[in-house]
């Protein structure tokens, strides 16, 4: 993987902004409907760059206080949630404004009813948080994580860092994503057709499947 990162870096045109690396994994021989395969993974990168992910917690009482103390960007009380019922503009704004959603398990049905149509398509349905969960550690983890989804297509794409990271760090991030996706596939690496890496303004460069060095 390090050789691929180096090739992409050496072939890229220098820009006046910090470009991001994007890993693209093309898949094959998968029928998502028949095989009941779903890829919607949250992956904590070994080396994260960019703005921390924004987190919204839906809950009340002790869990809400715990979320505030843990640094959640927004704590949405049930009364505030109810005000979004039928307010598509504000519900869409909320869904778009936060990267990850956590919720009190007792409110999951309520959240689904009010926000499901806005969170579901983007793979952002809340993660239920039991009272004993290490919420501070979870928020810290998700701030440095990315979401990888198939979106019904035979490919996944993920931004795995930017030019502030070293070649070795980008390679480790790429492997973290690759290994996670491979484990989710019915036949593992056999379901991977091609692997590409690119910078924001460069053309994708292909790496042979099975060659990870």
pTM: 0.84
Nearest residue to 43 (alpha-carbon basis) of 133, 153, 159 = 159
Q: How far apart are CA 151 and CA 48, in angstroms?
A: 24
* CATH 3.40.50.790 fits domain 55-142: yes
Q: What kind of architecture, by CATH, is found in domain 2-50+146-207?
A: 2-Layer Sandwich (3.30)
Segment 79-101, tens digit of pLDDT:
999 999 989 999 999 999 999 99
DSSP notation for 100-148? EEEE-GGGHHHHHHHHHHHHGGGT-PPEE--TTS-HHHHHHHHHTEEEE
Is the backbone of residue 71 left (phi > 0), alpha (psi -120 to 50) or beta? Answer: left
**Given pLDDT bands bounded at 50, 70 and 90, which one contains residue 21?**
very high
- pLDDT per position as a tens digit, 121-160: 888 999 999 989 999 999 999 999 999 988 778 999 999 9
Per-residue pLDDT, 13:
84
Residue 23: closest CA among 38, 52, 43: 43
Tokens of residue 12, six digits: 């890229």
What band does 212 get if pLDDT is binned at 50, 70 and 90? low
Residue 210: pLDDT band with limits 50, 70, 90: low
What are the extents of the domains in the chain?
A: 2-50+146-207, 55-142
Is residue 4 exposed (0-12), middle (13-18) or buried (19+ Cβ within 10 Å)? buried
pLDDT at 58: 97
Residue 213 has pLDDT above 60, yes or no: no
When pLDDT is cut at 50, 70 and 90, the band that residue 113 belongs to is: very high
């Amino acid at each position: 993987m390090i050789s691929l990162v180096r090739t992409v870096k050496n072939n890229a045109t220098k820009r006046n902004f910090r470009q991001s690396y994007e890993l693209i994994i093309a898949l094959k021989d998968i029928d998502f409907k028949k095989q009941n395969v779903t890829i919607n993974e949250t992956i904590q990168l070994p080396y994260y760059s960019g703005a921390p992910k924004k987190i919204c917690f839906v809950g009340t009482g002790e869990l809400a206080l715990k979320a505030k103390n843990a640094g959640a960007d927004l704590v949405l009380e049930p009364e505030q949630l109810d005000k979004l019922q039928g307010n598509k503009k504000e519900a869409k704004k909320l869904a778009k404004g936060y990267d990850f959603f956590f919720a009190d398990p007792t409110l999951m049905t309520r959240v689904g009813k009010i926000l499901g149509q806005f969170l579901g398509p983007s793979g952002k349905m809340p993660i239920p948080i039991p009272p004993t969960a290490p919420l501070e550690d979870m928020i810290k983890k998700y701030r440095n994580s990315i979401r990888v989804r198939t979106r019904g297509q035979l490919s996944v794409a993920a931004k795995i860092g930017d030019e502030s990271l070293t070649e070795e760090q980008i390679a480790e991030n790429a492997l973290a994503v690759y290994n996670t996706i491979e484990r989710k596939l019915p036949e593992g690496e056999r379901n991977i057709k091609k692997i590409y890496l690119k910078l924001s303004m460069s053309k994708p460069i292909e790496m042979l499947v099975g060659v990870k060095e």
